[in-house]
Amino acid sequence: MKRWSSKTITLLIVIILLAVNSGFLFSYYNFYLSDKITSSMVSAKDKNHESISIIVKSIEGKSFDEALDLIKMYVDNNGGYIILKDVNGKTVYTNNKDVSKLFSSTTTIEIEQKEYELTYSNVLVTPGNNLVRNFVFYEIIIVSCVIIVLFFISSKQLIDPIDTITKDINAYKFGKRPFKRKMPKNMQQIQNAFVDMVDSLELEKENQNQIIASISHDIKTPLTSVIGYADRLKNSNLSDEKKQKYIDKIYNKALTMKGILEEFDDYQSCNIKETLKLEKVTIKSILEYVKKDFEDELLDKNIKLSIKTNCNEKFINVDQVKLKRVFSNVITNSVTHFNGKAGVINIDVTSRANLIRFEIADNGGGIADEKDLKRIFEPLYTSDPSRKISGLGLSICKQIISSLDGRIYAKNNSIGGLSIIFVLPKA
């Protein structure tokens, strides 16, 4: 069964309340108000006619002044409003300044053989006005009640969830993590998005702490050696040969620490897209660099480098320095897994639609566990338990390729090793 949204329920309640109110208005007017107004008007007319008849009888044969005094006396005793006009329409007497609102009865009387028009009203405004006024008053009460009901509904649907989200945000400032809640749809999306953001921030914080701890550990080992060799150099009885040996050791350990810090700096800077220096280059020029820079070094380590492509003249927009770092990191990662045996590194570059696909494959054994295969691009993650240095190389590759609007992934290949594949858009 389909569940109705809170917006639909609220709208349905409003429609029902409006329908009920409209029915109430129709019934009230047709079965009560219209009859009441008609009855009031008839009663008012009868009362006016009766009053006029009494006034006319009382002034028969009287002089104008006497007649006027009698009219005033009647009004003083019985209330009401009088307008007395002569044949020319001039008002001779009235006790009401605003005659436009009179609901009145009019007759012609004769005083001292002159005709006058006498208008009398015992009701200042049209009969039924009070009923209408009362009706409007009650309608205002009903509408106010509807508004209050809608306010409480909206409070439950909108204000309360906003208040809850605000409390979660303030609580997170003091270290209390939020959690996903059941809320109205839109508010739940906001709450869940906030929870997901917090989870991402906490994961990033954990990664940063792990990176810092790992780098600290990796630096401590060569630093301890540097301190040890430097301490030995203080011994004046050392031969020149030993002194040079210790100096070389210190220098090599210092280079190791420099490499660790440079790798960390690269990790921090590679995800900053604004630092990219994009150039339009051919695939041929990139592969020529790779061959020139790595072929001889790999041959010295008994590793064969093979490069194939079907798109030498295709162009891509890349930061050459960062892209070269990708090749360097991937190839260096492959070399560490050959363990002195004859190795093969194949680089295959192909053009597909609007993309250029790079595959760097080795025969270094690959990764047996599928879980490890999915995680090798995470910072510091390594499937080699004996590995001691910070595992940031492939993570840096992922950040570089992502900053170039590309995609990178890994898979085991048919030559008995691992393939790192990344795809970049054509220029």
332-379 tens-digit pLDDT: 888 877 776 778 999 999 998 899 999 999 988 888 777 778 788 877
Reported as a single tens digit per residue, the pLDDT across 378-416 is 776 665 554 444 467 788 888 889 888 999 999 998 888
- Which domain-ending residue is among 270, 285, 310? 270
Q: What is the mean pLDDT of residues 89-98?
A: 78
The pLDDT value recorded for residue 75 is 82
Residue 127 has pLDDT above 60, yes or no: no
The pLDDT value recorded for residue 181 is 79
The pLDDT value recorded for residue 383 is 58
Residue 76, both tokens: 């003083």
Q: Which has the closest alpha carbon to 363: 345, 347, 378?
A: 345
Residues 263 and 284 placed together within one structural domain of the fold? no
Give the SS3 label for residue 127: coil
Q: Are 240 and 281 in contact (CB under 8 A)?
A: no
Residues 418 and 293 placed together within one structural domain of the fold? yes
Residues 69 and 96 placed together within one structural domain of the fold? yes
- Residue 135 lies inside a defined structural domain of this protein: no
- Residue 174 lies inside a defined structural domain of this protein: no
Reported as a single tens digit per residue, the pLDDT across 208-251 is 776 677 667 667 767 887 888 888 888 767 888 888 888 888 88
Query: How far is C-alpha 105 from the chain's CA centre?
Result: 70
Residue 80 has pLDDT above 60, yes or no: yes
The pLDDT value recorded for residue 158 is 64
**What is the CATH number for 251?**
1.10.287.130
How far from 125 is each of 71, 84, 142, 357, CA to CA, in Å? 21, 19, 26, 91
Identify the DSSP state of 89. Answer: S
Q: Position 241: which residue type?
A: E
The total number of structural domains in the chain stands at 3
Which distant-in-sequence residues (6+ apart) come within 8 Å of 35 by Cβ? none
**What is the CATH number for 312?**
3.30.565.10
- Residue 149 lies inside a defined structural domain of this protein: no
The pLDDT value recorded for residue 408 is 92
Residue 29 has pLDDT above 80, yes or no: no
The pLDDT value recorded for residue 55 is 83
The better pLDDT of the pair 324, 188 is held by 324
The pLDDT value recorded for residue 131 is 62
- Residue 169 lies inside a defined structural domain of this protein: no
The better pLDDT of the pair 253, 288 is held by 288
Query: How far is C-alpha 76 from the chain's CA centre?
Result: 74
Give the best-scoring range by mean pLDDT among 21-30, 254-263, 356-365.
356-365
Give the SS3 label for residue 381: coil
The residue segments making up the domain with residue 299 are 274-425
- Residue 386 lies inside a defined structural domain of this protein: yes
- Residue 176 lies inside a defined structural domain of this protein: no
Residues 279 and 417 placed together within one structural domain of the fold? yes
Residues 30 and 113 placed together within one structural domain of the fold? yes
Query: How far is C-alpha 405 from the chain's CA centre?
Result: 25
For residue 344, what is the enclosing H or E element? Answer: strand 343-352
Strands 81-85 and 91-94, how do they pair? Answer: antiparallel
Q: Which has the closest alpha carbon to 349: 305, 323, 314, 396?
A: 314
Number of Cβ within 10 Å of residue 172's Cβ equals 17
Residue 108 forms beta bridges with which residues? 117
Residues 297 and 224 placed together within one structural domain of the fold? no
Angle at 241 between CA 235 and CA 243, to 5 degrees: 35
The better pLDDT of the pair 72, 149 is held by 72
The pLDDT value recorded for residue 209 is 76
Backbone angles phi, psi at 136, to 5 degrees: -60, -40
Backbone angles phi, psi at 179, to 5 degrees: -140, 160
pLDDT > 90: what percent of the chain? Answer: 11
Residues 241 and 309 placed together within one structural domain of the fold? no
Give the best-scoring range by mean pLDDT among 32-41, 126-135, 141-150, 226-235.
226-235
Which distant-in-sequence residues (6+ apart) come within 8 Å of 247 by Cβ? 229, 233
DSSP string, 28-65: HIIIIIHHHHHHHHHHHHHHHHHHHHHHHHHTTT--HH
Residues 250 and 121 placed together within one structural domain of the fold? no
Residues 280 and 400 placed together within one structural domain of the fold? yes
Residues 404 and 284 placed together within one structural domain of the fold? yes
Angle at 198 between CA 260 and CA 410, to 5 degrees: 50
- Residue 160 lies inside a defined structural domain of this protein: no
Residue 423 has pLDDT above 80, yes or no: yes
Residues 417 and 278 placed together within one structural domain of the fold? yes
- Which domain-ending residue is among 270, 296, 323? 270
Reported as a single tens digit per residue, the pLDDT across 96-116 is 755 555 567 788 888 888 888
Residues 329 and 419 placed together within one structural domain of the fold? yes
Residue 1 has pLDDT above 60, yes or no: no
- Which domain-ending residue is among 233, 250, 270? 270
**Residue in the structure block whose two tokens are 């914080």:** 205
Query: How far is C-alpha 174 from the chain's CA centre?
Result: 23
- Residue 146 lies inside a defined structural domain of this protein: no
